[in-house]
Amino acid sequence: MLGEGDVAPDFRLPADDGKTYALKELRGQKVVLYFYPKDETPGCIKEACSFRDNLARVRSKHAIVLGVSRDDLDSHAAFRKKYSLSFPLLSDTEGKVLDAYGVWKEKNLHGKTHMGIERTTYIIDEGGRIQKIFPRVKVDGHVDEVLAAL
């Protein structure tokens, strides 16, 4: 279980912008790493658009935003284009980063259990340590919480 103050697990994932992102290569800037269940679902659309609409405010705090889900790069590219998202979406189809960050969990929907991503955001500081964890994120007002913590 990860906690605030812990070293954030390093990762190297492909993104829909054609780049590969590695946490260790992002040292020196804050990273808002948000895990979301699935492209093109209502809560995920709302969350992504909220980060998009507030990206200048996030950047003013010397931070970048990276979204992560299990969706593939084609799905991410279509999602990003449709909603004019101005930050990269990383693809973790194998789920290794999801496991490392503890967001791949058993979920219950209408009495049936299944495995899925628990909407969670991590703020990682300039040195690669976890500054803040937002588990079980409620989308409304979340970006304001993130901004307050930056």
Residues annotated as catalytic are 44
DSSP-derived secondary structure for 55-107? HHHHHTTTEEEEEEES--HHHHHHHHHHTT--S-EEE-TT-HHHHHTT-EEEE
Q: What backbone torsions phi and psi does residue 94 show, to the nearest 5 degrees?
A: -85, -15
**Would you tell me how many other CB atoms lie within 10 Å of the CB of residue 144?**
12
